[in-house]
Structure 1
Amino acid sequence: MRPESTNGTGGGGGLAVPMAWLCAEYIADELLRAGGLVEPGSLEYQAGRRTLALTVYLGDGTDGAPGTGADDRLDEWLTRTSHGHPWEDWVRERLAVRQEHDGDDEGLALARETWQRLEGTHLLATDLGALTAAPAAGLTVDESEAVWLPSWRLGLPLGHLALRLY
């Protein structure tokens, strides 16, 4: 991202995008590219990148606290994106906590905007929520039956798979 001022005469001189958010997007992008699950630039890719970026940004272990290693952060992200985890509720809760703690910082504004895009953008996809039992029980997904889903519902399992492949 470009600095707010490129000629050296303007105020600020900081990044237009806060470093914490920039790092979260970079990590999400690298994980998805390394996984090679979908074509970069596709709607599915964007959904996965946004979902992972929110997970990384809002995660408890992303602040570099002492004793928080890369494996701990990866485990946290895997847990947050796993099937059955109330990710949507977790995001709403973490956004509210960050708002209370940090106020209106730029990173939080980008996280809220990303969440609104994930909720507001709907993609036509196979209805993975139609499964009532574990796939091991012999039930299969009818891939011809598609529904409109908020993009995070597609991005979440995609992000989880990318994390598993890492």
Structure 2
Amino acid sequence: MRPESTNGAGGTSGGGLAVPMAWLCAEYLADEVLRAAALVAPGSLEHRAGLQALALTVHLSEEPGGPAHGRSAGRIDEWLRHTAYDRPWPPWVEERLAARRAAGGGGPDLALAEAAWRRLRDTWVRAADLDGRTADDAGSPVDEDEQIWLPAWKLGLPLAHLSLHLR
């Protein structure tokens, strides 16, 4: 990759390594939120899926070249809206990535975000079927022995959402 920046300021600096500061900040913030929630073990497949889903949400919520990722209540509310169960998260991710590609402001941040999306979309995991519940099942616990194959984002997104609530 060609250098985008060597200091995170977004400008081109002669001959240095590209530093994807926006992506690294989003990933760091996502990791902090997931670790604080303590819902899954760090390093587990679930943690990785939640980390990538939340980092994508944080990163793509920002405008390219916008301000650094903050923790204001408004930003957290926005991330909660994007990760909510009834929201079409995958199309939103695809649209935001396409918009960034079209704007030509990709660089290493976009490359890492696209790689995270490919992993979440293309990696399939076996997990409890939360979508298969009916209204009759509302009061009963989920049978974790009844598992189905699903894309990793379907495992990571609810974990990211719940972790944001528990922050």
For 2:150, the equivalent position in structure 1 comes to 149
3-state secondary structure, aligned to 1:130: coil
For 2:101, the equivalent position in structure 1 comes to 99
Aligned-residue offset at 1:134: 9.0
Q: 1:64 aligns with which of 55, 62, 67?
A: 67
Q: Deviations over 1:5-36 (max 9, x none)?
A: xxxxxx5324x431101100000010001111
For 1:12, the equivalent position in structure 2 comes to 15
- Letter in structure 1 aligned against 2:53: T
- Letter in structure 1 aligned against 2:165: R
Q: 1:48 aligns with which of 36, 47, 50?
A: 50
3-state secondary structure, aligned to 2:35: helix
3-state secondary structure, aligned to 1:125: strand
Aligned equivalents of 1:159 and 1:51: distance in 2?
A: 7
For 2:163, the equivalent position in structure 1 comes to 162
- Letter in structure 1 aligned against 2:125: L
Relative to its length, the structure with more helix (as a share) is 1
Aligned-residue offset at 1:144: 1.8
Aligned equivalents of 1:103 and 1:22: distance in 2?
A: 16
Q: Aligned in 2, Cα 1:138/1:57: closer, same or farther, shift over 3 Å?
A: same
Aligned-residue offset at 1:105: 1.6
Aligned equivalents of 1:146 and 1:64: distance in 2?
A: 42
- 1:130, 1:141 within 8 Å by CA — same for their partners in 2? no
Aligned equivalents of 1:134 and 1:159: distance in 2?
A: 27
Extract structure 1 runs of 4+ deviating beyond 6 A: none
Aligned length in residues = 154
Q: Aligned in 2, Cα 1:118/1:70: closer, same or farther, shift over 3 Å?
A: same
Aligned-residue offset at 1:139: 5.6
- 1:61, 1:76 within 8 Å by CA — same for their partners in 2? no
